[in-house]
Amino acid sequence: MKKVLLVLAVAVLAFSACKAKETPAQGAAAGPSKLVVWSFTDEVGGLVNDYYKPAHPEVTVEYSMTPTEQFPSKLDPVLASGQGTPDIFALEDAFVRKYVESGLLLDLTDIYEANKSKLLAYPAEVGSYEGRVYGMSWQATPGAMFYRRSLAKKYLGTDDPAQVQAYFSSQQKFLETAALLKDKSGGACVVVSSLGDLYRPFASSRKDPWVVNDKLVIDPAMEAYMEICKTLHDRGWEGRVGAWSEGWFAGMQGVLKDEQGKAVEVFSYFLPTWGLHYVLKTNAPDTAGDWAMTPGPYPYRWGGTWIGAWKNTKNAAAAKELIRYLTTDDDFLEAYAKKSGDLVSNMVVVERIKDSYSEPFLGGQNHYAEFAEMAKGVDGKLTQGTDQAVEGLFNEALNAYVNGEKSKEAALADFRAQAASQLSL
């Protein structure tokens, strides 16, 4: 009898010990019950409310939205002090690298490594610093060359995207075709309305970023870009209006006029994924069906939103799960892509759905499949936190050269001097 009681006692103690070990593990698996999320756009709020929360009912999300221009000034002080800091925050393309390079973000490399085989490379390249991933994105925003089908037929003899691409497949072909359009139209047709359209595609052709080993680098591609802009301007092969100006939008609508009141035909616009839906469709609805898209001379990207987390968050596991879900989960991203039309960065999902699209605004062309292919050529490693500041100074130099105020050599010398004095480069 004593032996039986002893065996029972040992069994009870063992059972109790097992339960004691199981309880913390189960609690850890369930994770924290609350996450604080900040964003500069309601887009993230929609993803959280419509998809993440229904799939994670055990987590409470406190969401806050601040306008883009005010967002960094709200986020910076709390990150610096560690007081009132959100667990997760959205990062816009214009300032994502500032935070990725700050040392203040949670390392997400494990999430990326577990999913990289199905993810587009460039979003993670933008979100990486010194070999570690700190920001990830659910979307991709490659750019294309959108052109008017009627003008292509009129001056190139075809509006087929593959055949039109042959006219713009390199920077030399681009210049040759700009001359051809001007000649065949009797001076009426320009290749672009604004030189500003060309910065992103031509900057994307660089081999080196602006800063290497803390020193300014002027890649040969940027000097070539200066010459292209000068040629287009001097020979009247561009519309001489500013990007996002009244004239820029007028060109989309087919109502741009030059200084003498003569009609100007604008052949193309360089815009990203969102440019189709929120720029062309919105501002030139009467031209629906008369557009098509092609890659143009270089792959490039424009815009996008990344997600990061504070490195000292007490909710690291839950924060990583939210980021993993929004940036890699197959089922969520397929449902989201089908509903929104957004090009997602999960290429498994893209391959599943890309052949189901036909865009009436583009004369039935499958924009989704085209963008998916263009995104593969984008190099995210060129993106740096100093880009905006350096680009601002470079564009000053470019404009001085294009407008005949300085020689190219003098403009570049001033650019170098300004980068040294203002940015310590």
Over residues 323-343, the mean pLDDT reads 97
Residues 6+ apart with CB under 8 A from 362: 276, 289, 291, 292, 293
Can you give the pLDDT at residue 33? 79
Q: Does residue 292 surpass a pLDDT of 80?
A: yes
Q: What tokens were used for 200?
A: 């992103």
For residue 44, what is the enclosing H or E element? Answer: helix 42-47
- State the pLDDT confidence band at 6, using cuts at 50, 70 and 90: very low
What is the mean pLDDT of the segment spanning 40-53?
A: 95
**Beta strands at 34-39 and 88-92: parallel, antiparallel or unpaired:** parallel
Nearest to 36 by CA among 8, 74, 93, 92: 74
Long-range contact pairs involving 259-265 (C-beta distance under 8 Å, separation at least 24): 262/188, 263/188, 264/188, 264/189, 264/190, 264/193, 264/239, 265/148, 265/151, 265/185, 265/188, 265/189, 265/190
Tokens standing for residue 63 = 């969401």
> How many other C-beta atoms lie within 10 A of the C-beta of residue 259?
6
Are 402 and 229 in contact by the 8 Å Cβ rule? The answer is yes
Name the pLDDT band for 32 (thresholds 50, 70, 90).
Answer: low
pLDDT score, position 4: 37
- Determine the distance from the C-alpha atom of residue 210 to the mean position of all C-alpha atoms in its chain, rounded to a whole number: 18
Average pLDDT of span 174-197: 97
CA angle 61, 66, 68 (to 5 degrees): 130
For residue 239, give every residue at least 6 positions away whose Cβ sits within 8 Å of its Cβ, in sequence order, or none. Answer: 190, 192, 193, 194, 247, 248, 251, 256, 258, 264, 266
Task: Report the run of H or E that residue 184 belongs to, with start and end.
Answer: helix 171-184
Q: Which residues of 294-315 are buried (b: 16+ CB within 10 A; e: fewer)?
A: bbbbbbbbbebbbbbbbbebeb
Task: Report the pLDDT averaged over residues 168-175.
Answer: 96
CB 5 within 8 A of CB 55: no
- Tell me: pLDDT of 184 over 90: yes
Distance of alpha carbon 141 from alpha carbon 372, whole angstroms: 9
pLDDT of residue 12 exceeding 60, the answer is no
pLDDT over 90 (residue 399) = yes
- Crossing angle of helices 220-234 and 171-184, rounded to 10°: 0
* Boundaries of every domain in the chain: 31-140+303-356, 144-194+238-296, 200-228+386-425
Q: Is 387 left (phi over 0), alpha (psi -120 to 50) or beta?
A: alpha
Q: Is 86 exposed, middle or buried (0-12, 13-18, 19+ CB in 10 A)?
A: buried
Q: Measured between alpha carbons, how far is 248 from 243 in angstroms, rounded to an integer?
A: 6
- pLDDT reading at 200 higher than 50: yes
Phi then psi for 107, rounded to 5 degrees? -70, 125
Each residue's pLDDT tens digit, 205-222? 999 999 999 999 999 999
Is the pLDDT at 62 greater than 90? The verdict is yes
Burial 13-39 (b: 16+ CB within 10 A, else e): eeeeeeeeeeeeeeeeeebbeebbbbb
Backbone angles phi, psi at 128, to 5 degrees: -110, 150
**Does residue 29 register a pLDDT over 80?**
no
Measured from the Cβ of residue 64, the count of other Cβ atoms closer than 10 Å reads 12
Count the residues in the chain: 425
For 128-148, write each residue's pLDDT tens digit. 999 999 999 999 999 999 999
Q: How confident is the model at residue 310 (pLDDT cuts 50, 70, 90)?
A: very high
The DSSP code sequence of 334-366 is HHHHHHH---BSBHHHHHHHGGG--BGGGTTB-
Superfamily of domain 31-140+303-356: Periplasmic binding protein-like II (3.40.190.10)
- Residue 88 pLDDT: 98
| Rounded CA separation 270/166 (Å) | 16
Q: pLDDT tier at 304 (50, 70, 90 boundaries)?
A: very high
Angstrom distance (rounded) from CA 228 to CA 214: 28
Tell me if residue 130 falls in helix, strand or coil.
coil
